[in-house]
Amino acid sequence: MCGIVGYIGFQEVTPIIINGLKRMEYRGYDSAGIALLAGETISITKRAGKVGDLENLVDLHPQSATIGIGHTRWATHGVPNDVNAHPHLDQTGSIALVHNGIIENHSAIRKRLERDGIEFKTDTDTESLVQLISAFFDITQDLEQAVRLALNEVDGTYGIVVVSSRDPEKLIAARRGSPLVLGINDGEYFVASDASAIVGYTRQVVYLEDGDMATLTREGYEVRTLGEEIVEHEIEEITYDIEQIEKGGFEHFMLKEIHEQPQTIMDSMRGRLIMEKGTAKLGGLREVLPVLNNASRIIITACGTSWHAALVGEYMLEHYARIPVEVEYASEFRYRDPIINEDDVVIAISQSGETADTLAALREAKMRGATVIGICNVVGSTIARETHAGVYIHAGPEIGVASTKAFTAQLVALSLLTLMLGRNRGFISIEEGKEFAQELMNIPGKVEQILAGTEDIKALAERYYQTSNALYLGRGYNFPSALEGALKLKEISYIHAEGYPAAEMKHGPIALIDENMPVVVIAPQDRIHEKVISNIQEVKARKGQVIAIVNHEDDVINDMVDHIISVPHTLDFLSPMLTSIPLQLLAYYIAVLRECDVDQPRNLAKSVTVE
Ligand code: G6P
């Protein structure tokens, strides 16, 4: 959602904050701001628009300071204008706050403070918190105490950083439901909602937990609970490099991340396949393996692209491991009073590991006694830490808002899980297991082959980029690929696109088909190939324009459709790892031709930490 960065130390703070905000801009990008603490005064610069716009404004009036906080926003309460941008000030102009999350009881707090004569300047929920801190400061004359008292009164979620000219040698950070990480260096300390904001300055980090409040000075940092108990968190090392969060010669992060997939797919299976035994080992699941092997049911919960990966997981786990699997939108799961018992395993899939709905769903499942497992990309993320066990997908930082390499790496993790459980439960023979493992190893090379055919996909994008609608059809393992292909297109090009199970088309979407409707049909040579051919005929009979994703040399389909995109053949259950690649590229090139902001599409955010 929003991005937060703060610094206290000996260096000029403005470039540190601006650089940090740029690295986190993918989290939210409708407005941005910075507060500098120089001597006795706090000066704020903020505006609607991108971090680049803020930087231009800051450059007009450079100021020297070594303490500051910054924020990049994804609006929830109040339109994204200059006034509603963070940081927010209290009435006296001496306390500044940046906030990620939602203060749910902000109206009640605001009314109470307004009755006491406080004048609010913004429409945000955040201002109620900074005014409340200020009111408590007037009573206690102690910044930490004031923050603590205020936080005890708020309902909702927050990751906050506070700075005050009334107590100028410190930053205070606190979290409940929104991630915050501290960065540690000699004589300087950082705080950010995402380690990528500070990795250029330090690799030593401490992940705050919900309920923590940290005080940072130039001499050190201290973490306490809101109940004032000291908390000791381990210092951890960030393992990725700065290059991994830069574009590396590509025009957009999304394109770079699409092209990284041969490597990321390999990374997500590295060391996890036991070729001679035809199985997989997932170290992070060791402790829950007996429960997993005997699970009466697996529920997979997720949002967005991760939910599509979950659907593929359902198909493969049921088919090969013979465990009943249900896939649930996390946002629905938590509120529908689900029946869960202690033999159930709930798997939460989340690239960021911070999605509020997914986190809430897993907490609900845990509370009801299930064993909860995370499949996450971001190491140390909240979901990764709150689950009983988990699998990291090792895709490296994903910056483009539209998820690509995380999706295919999630599919790898699910394939490994399927292989392991199928073998453990006796439904996959050793020979079959060896074949699966070998074919998994072949996938990166096959993805490379697809990426080599990018020019054909560009040409298709030229042909269709002005369309207003598109339909994506697939069956079996490639029904989720169709959903994902449609999601990619709508997310970044704003073309209305729908994904559908191909056979279900005749129960509704077929009414949309005419000579102007592009229909992408995913039709590799799998178990249900013949059936998909019939569905293509149904589209052609209504003059739809068919773009078919096929395996090499599919003469039958070749003669029927308008355009062909070839992908190499693979085992059915691995097929989405290949078929999703041209769909990512097609969406990407169409969005570029439509001059859309590919990496930061309108209204979306990378990590949705509000409900
Ligand atoms: C947002 C992102 C999507 C992502 C979804 C779930 O909507 O824009 O790309 O798929 O959140 O995110 P997660 O981090 O939980 O996988």
pLDDT band at 610; cut points 50, 70, 90: confident
Indicate if ligand 1 lies below 6 Å from the C-beta of 331. Answer: no
Indicate if ligand 1 lies below 6 Å from the C-beta of 84. Answer: no
Indicate if ligand 1 lies below 6 Å from the C-beta of 350. Answer: yes
pLDDT at 44 (0 to 100): 95
Query: Atom of ligand 1 at shortest distance to CA of 304?
Result: 10
Average pLDDT of 561-589? 97
Q: What CA–CA distance (Å, rounded) separates 432 from 139?
A: 71
pLDDT at 329 over 80: yes
Indicate if ligand 1 lies below 6 Å from the C-beta of 395. Answer: no
Q: What CA–CA distance (Å, rounded) separates 284 from 417?
A: 11
pLDDT at 503 over 90: no
- Half-sphere CA count of 326, side-chain side, radius 13 A: 15
| Ligand 1 centre distance from Cα of residue 316 (Å) | 22
Contact 188, 7 (CB under 8 A): yes
The model's pLDDT over 190-203, given as tens digits with 9 standing for 90+, comes to 999 989 899 999 99
Q: Which residue has tokens 């250029």?
A: 200
| Beta carbons within 8 Å of 140's beta carbon, 6+ residues apart | 146, 149
pLDDT band at 552; cut points 50, 70, 90: confident
Catalytic machinery residues: 2, 606
Return the HEC string of 194-217.
Answer: CHHHCCCCCCEEEECCCCEEEEEC
| Ligand 1 centre distance from Cα of residue 349 (Å) | 10
Indicate if ligand 1 lies below 6 Å from the C-beta of 606. Answer: yes
Query: What is the overall mean pLDDT for the chain?
Result: 94
Lowest mean pLDDT among 175-184, 459-468, 527-536: 527-536
Query: Atom of ligand 1 at shortest distance to CA of 358?
Result: 15
Residue in 2, 74, 308, 608 to alter for ligand 1 test, most ligand atoms within 8 A of Cβ: 608
Indicate if ligand 1 lies below 6 Å from the C-beta of 202. Answer: no
Q: Is the dihedral of CA 251, 253, 254, 255 positive or negative?
A: positive
State both tokens at 549: 């994703």
- Could you give the C-alpha distances from 33 to 182, 235, 453, in angstroms and in order? 20, 29, 43
| Ligand 1 centre distance from Cα of residue 404 (Å) | 11
User: Which residue's alpha carbon is at the smallest distance from atom 1 of ligand 1?
Assistant: 606
pLDDT at 1 over 70: no
State both tokens at 54: 């803020």
- Could you give the C-alpha distances from 303 to 350, 371, 587, 605, in angstroms and in order? 8, 20, 20, 13
User: Which residue's alpha carbon is at the smallest distance from atom 7 of ligand 1?
Assistant: 304
pLDDT at 111 (0 to 100): 96
pLDDT at 220 (0 to 100): 96
SS3 at position 267: helix
- Half-sphere CA count of 178, side-chain side, radius 13 A: 27
| Ligand 1 centre distance from Cα of residue 376 (Å) | 11
pLDDT at 474 (0 to 100): 96
pLDDT at 436 (0 to 100): 97
Contact 68, 163 (CB under 8 A): yes
Considering only CA atoms, which of 275, 273, 269, 272 is closest in space to residue 430?
Answer: 275
| Ligand 1 centre distance from Cα of residue 207 (Å) | 21
User: Which residue's alpha carbon is at the smallest distance from atom 2 of ligand 1?
Assistant: 606
Contact 17, 32 (CB under 8 A): no
| Ligand 1 centre distance from Cα of residue 488 (Å) | 12
Q: Looking at per-residue confidence, does 194 or 111 come out higher?
A: 111
In the chain, pLDDT over 70 holds for what percent of residues? 100
Indicate if ligand 1 lies below 6 Å from the C-beta of 600. Answer: no
Indicate if ligand 1 lies below 6 Å from the C-beta of 355. Answer: yes
Indicate if ligand 1 lies below 6 Å from the C-beta of 196. Answer: no
State both tokens at 26: 């993918």
